[in-house]
Structure 1
Amino acid sequence: MQTITANNYPIYFNESAYEQLNLFLKENKYSNLFIIVDSNTTDSCLPKFLPYLETDLTIEIVEFEAGEINKNIETCIEIWNVLTELGADRKSLVINVGGGVVTDLGGFIASTFKRGVDFIHIPTTLLSMVDASVGGKNGVDLGNLKNQIGVINVPKMVLIDTTYLETLSQSEMRSGLAEMLKHGLIYDKEYWEKFLDLTSIDFADFDSLIHRSVAIKNEIVMQDPTEKGIRKALNFGHTLGHAIESYFLESKDKTTLLHGEAIAIGMILESYISLKKELISTSEYQQIKQTINSIYDKIVFEENDLHPILDLLIHDKKNEYGTIQFALIEGIGKIKINQLVENELILEAFEDYKS
């Protein structure tokens, strides 16, 4: 597949990816190499990745326990200490091999260690391929609040090898698919329509759908790298989705949701809000709701869940001057940013989701 040129870094795919990585290692004089993984990718992906490496550099594997719950500053401190003990310096290279938690956290660690060392992302989940590893956002959660601490700093390259997807469960694949659906809804109606009936998708050609999803995100980020304007479009479904994800993460009586599961709910809710603000038609809303509900399990919300979720909205990173800002769709394939939404309408959207 064709290489995508991002903001000062390339995104390589499949057959060319490892050739480009080894060429990069040969052309740049790094002192040593640190591979950051979690406990899942140590078992599932590292054995596949390491044989591709052609380098005389000293290689150290740095592992942390898998899970969103470990994407925090405490894990960073542990890894910064390990890097220090193992002799990492300003000329070290970090390669992050794993899903979105690994690329978010590993990119943040590299961006802040000794004021920044070079890093490369090798995403191994669908979610990290089409979203987390592209765009330069690196960071960690603050308690149960998603991605509150971080930096925007681009990798030297991103390598997308879709054969890693063979290691994923169906639920993890669906989680990544949510971001692909979002890219269609906010940017490319024709792309969205490819997912209206999953049984009609030729999964032998799924790589091309991944490539298009990455290209969409990249096209948006290139216009607005620091999220002052149009890049906020990528937050469609995430204002409520992140609040739901955080609430389920902190609630002892709730089953933790995968990122994409929460974002799928957020997209339905925010599509309903778009409908009520007369930005989309009833038929467009019904198509969105039915399509997403055909892919994801319905989540039960009790009455006492809703106000704690609303309380979490104040921490959304798009908020300015204490007001909650939404990115809503203006017809399928278009977006309208910086939209204010009253709590009453949000609660109405939850009622419609439950119906």
Structure 2
Amino acid sequence: MMEIKKERGAVYCNEEAWKHLKSKLVSLHPSKLFILVNTHTARFCLPVFLELSEITSYEVLTIEAGEKYKNITSCVDLWHLLSEKGADRKSVLINLGGGVVTDLGGFVASTFKRGIEFINIPTSLLAMVDASVGGKNGVDLGTLKNQIGVIKEPLQVIVDTNFLKTLPKNEVVSGYAEMLKHGLIHSEDYWNDVQKFDIKNPASEENLIWKSILIKNEVVTEDPFEQNRRKTLNYGHTLGHAIESYCLASETKKTLLHGEAIAIGIILATFLSTELLNFPKQKCQHIANVILSHYPKVEFTETTINDCIELLKYDKKNQHGKVLFVLLNDIGKHEINCEVPNDLIYKAFSYYKNL
């Protein structure tokens, strides 16, 4: 049975999930029910959600689609809307969308009137296996990723893989990067299994998606506030987030989806692991080949690399002015709080360039 039962952060998958949602809303008896969507999920997912949930009394709140709208301005607009529409502490916010919607919606709910209940309905692969699970809610600060936020689990997460049929291929591939990461930090078995994921038919891959959810849930349950093991979920994200932020800010560089940037970060982190922790070089090459079979190469000039390294000082894992990486001794065997000299970072980019 695909469900994770707990007081907060319960996760339910597919058909049975909707029964749990209906039951929870009956018990909550909200004064008002709000549904947060973006311009894409309003069109493609909201009608499906309303049919499956059988909700009839609700207000829809809409934000623009895209990472650049994951900011405090969007939050202020939503706080005003909630006030204008009479939301109180017994109101409930349902976040229907990808990672931007669940991250931002969770933050809005966690802070409005010092906290109202919220439920996540992830509609992208990225949100299903990563963003909507674990209670990280927040927004970007300019182009700097996830600098402002709180940790609070949603009341429930309702996963229905049928929503994946509404996604363009590049959004599916973006979410797949997080599943590949789960394989690398968890076990050789899952790493081998996740390579068989069918990009063209993601809704059919329910078991692999659920395994990724279980891996993330296990990690965040053990370490909810990222003091130790939860840091492993940032594998590939230290440089990946820097690359993503750089591309968001650049007027000439194409903006990368989260998973596209993290895929590059995974290759870089795995190379660094070979240099610092003797990660097997043959496996490093295999991992790079798997990733490059799904993600296009991106060119980095020396100036770009310098700018990305400069952005590392904003990484959330940093302590006492030190940039700290998650690296691997082997697949499923991690080391946290690793310091990496800049000359090795340049060497990692050179390795990526020459693949």
The answer to whether TM tops 0.5 is yes
For the residues of structure 2 that align with 1:51 and 1:199, how far apart are their CA atoms? Answer: 27
Give unmatched runs, 5+ long, in structure 2.
Answer: none
Give the drift of 1:283.
Answer: 1.1
Partner of 1:345: 344
Give the match's secondary structure for 1:194: helix
Contact 1:26 1:55 in 2 (8 A): no
Contact 2:143 2:249 in 1 (8 A): yes
Map 1:26-175 → 2, pairs under 5 A:
26-55=26-55, 58-175=57-174
Give the drift of 1:278.
Answer: 3.0
For the residues of structure 1 that align with 2:17 and 2:193, how far apart are their CA atoms? Answer: 27
Q: Which moved more, 1:279-288 or 1:66-75?
A: 279-288
For the residues of structure 2 that align with 1:23 and 1:99, how far apart are their CA atoms? Answer: 24
Map 1:266-277 → 2, pairs under 5 A:
266-277=265-276
Which whole-Å deviations, capped at 9, do the CAs of 1:240-275 have from their partners, x for residues lacking one? 000000000000001100000000000000000000
For the residues of structure 2 that align with 1:215 and 1:120, how far apart are their CA atoms? Answer: 18
Give the drift of 1:7.
Answer: 6.8
Give the drift of 1:201.
Answer: 10
Matched, 1:329 2:331: no
Map 1:258-297 → 2, pairs under 5 A:
258-297=257-296
Partner of 1:301: 300
Partner of 1:251: 250
The 3 A distance-change label for structure 1 pair 199 and 110 is closer
Contact 1:236 1:327 in 2 (8 A): yes
Give the match's secondary structure for 1:330: strand
Structure 2-normalised TM-score? 0.97
Count of aligned residue pairs for this structure pair: 354
The residue type equivalent to 2:173 in the other structure is: R
Give the drift of 1:203.
Answer: 6.0
Map 1:217-228 → 2, pairs under 5 A:
217-228=216-227
For the residues of structure 2 that align with 1:203 and 1:315, how far apart are their CA atoms? Answer: 34
Contact 1:195 1:201 in 2 (8 A): no
Structure 1-normalised TM-score? 0.97
Q: Which moved more, 1:14-23 or 1:134-143?
A: 14-23
For the residues of structure 2 that align with 1:235 and 1:150, how far apart are their CA atoms? Answer: 17
Which whole-Å deviations, capped at 9, do the CAs of 1:277-322 have from their partners, x for residues lacking one? 1331111111111111111111111121110100000000000000
Partner of 2:4: 4
Matched, 1:22 2:41: no
Give the drift of 1:5.
Answer: 3.1
For the residues of structure 1 that align with 2:10 and 2:68, how far apart are their CA atoms? Answer: 31
Give the drift of 1:75.
Answer: 0.4
Which whole-Å deviations, capped at 9, do the CAs of 1:33-54 have from their partners, x for residues lacking one? 0100100100010010012334
The 3 A distance-change label for structure 1 pair 7 and 137 is farther
Contact 2:96 2:120 in 1 (8 A): yes
Give the match's secondary structure for 1:62: strand
Q: Which moved more, 1:23-32 or 1:230-239?
A: 23-32
Contact 1:13 1:160 in 2 (8 A): yes
Partner of 1:177: 176
Give unmatched runs, 5+ long, in structure 1.
Answer: none
